[in-house]
Amino acid sequence: QGLHALAVKAGLQFFGTATDTNNFNDTAYMDVVNNKNEFGILTPENSQKWEPTEPRQGAFVFTNPDQVRSLAVKNTQQFRCHTLTWFEQLPQFVQTTQWTRETLTAAIRAHITNVVTHYRGQCYSWDVVNEAINDNGTFRESVFFRTLGTDYIPISFDAAARADPQAKLYYNDFSLEFNSNKTDTAVRIVKLVQDAKLRIDGVGFQAHMVVGQTPPRATLVQALSRFTALGLEVALTELDVRQPELPASSRALEQQSADYASMVAACLNVAKCVGVVVWQFTDKYSWVPSTFPGTGEACLFDQNFVKRPAYTAVAKVL
Ligand code: XIL
């Protein structure tokens, strides 16, 4: 039994993974991705972001994300779309143009309208705004915030809602898991959108964690519940739990198993936590070692596609 099949039996809508076309010629890898009982929803790890989809203003490229979508369709998996307004992986023109309120608003609207319309009716959800908050709870100084203040957030949700009435619209961020100042600001974002009479359906907890430093399950349940109390659904959208010291000892592998299991259990404890997506399932393609040097072994499968103890722990809790 795979993780998605187990998750569905446990009452979740999905257990899935991030993947992308640069992985698609690896047959051992694809054997796992193509098993919809293992992963029932796919998220493009990179190809659907602003830089690859609109590298030059007004010129849209969907070749790679279309391939991820086609794979999901072929495998009868769901498709979790990621992401629209984010301060990273932006094309040159977004970073260098001297924007006014009017021109940047138009650029955001044009980007979102084109991309969301292209995938209309095919995304379970869209991460409309990604990572708008600093870890201390203040708003991130992006080109969007500098030019528009927080207005870029409702502007983005409005454009997405108009382009696809079906896809669930999410705010997505990391480190919301500890119910901290950052979580408070995410609540403010939800209210900001709701007060503008616009649609927001979910909050994604990315859940990029460190072994031994995951929140107590009750804390995560509390943090998730703050959003379901506002009428939203929640999900763990980019789960991985990296080892701070390599290679991991057997003690560290046990801790990682407990940490993975407790993260998934928290989702199971919240009625409107709809599912879990891991940010790649094998160390072979994990973003962790290059982004957090010296750390790694963060995935449910090792680089040879051998299941870690954490895999068994997650299967057991589901
Ligand atoms: C990461 C990808 O995994 C990397 O391959 C890429 O170089 C940078 O982006 N939060 C997000 C994801 O929302 O889009 C990021 O993905 C990881 C952090």
Task: Report the separation in Å between the CA atom of 144 and the middle of ligand 1, taken as the mean of its atom positions.
Answer: 19
Catalytic residues: 131, 238
Q: What is the pTM of this model?
A: 0.98
**266 CA → ligand 1 middle, Å:** 23
How many alpha carbons fall within 13 Å on the CB side of residue 282? 18
pLDDT in tens, 254-312: 999 999 999 999 999 999 999 999 999 999 999 999 999 999 999 999 999 999 999 99
Atom of ligand 1 at shortest range from CA of 279 = 3
- Cα 287 to ligand 1 centre (Å): 7
The closest residue, in CA terms, to atom 15 on ligand 1 is 45
If you average pLDDT over residues 142-146, what whole number do you get? Answer: 98
> Tens digit of pLDDT for each residue in 145-184?
999 999 999 999 999 999 999 999 999 999 999 999 999 9
Atom of ligand 1 nearest to the CA of 127: 13
Q: At 297, list the tokens.
A: 């072994």
Report how far apart, in Å, the C-alpha atoms of 62 and of each of 21, 94, 107, 157 are: 12, 18, 18, 21
**Predicted interface score ipTM higher than 0.95:** yes
Q: What CATH code is assigned to 3-317?
A: 3.20.20.80
Q: Which residues line ligand 1 (CB under 6 A)?
A: 45-46, 83, 130, 206, 238, 287
Mean pLDDT of the chain: 98
Residue 212's pLDDT is what?
Answer: 98
Closest atom, ligand 1, to C-alpha of 130: 13
Return the pLDDT at 269.
98
- pLDDT (0 to 100) of residue 169: 99
**Pairing verdict, β 208-210 and 202-205:** unpaired
DSSP state of 283: G
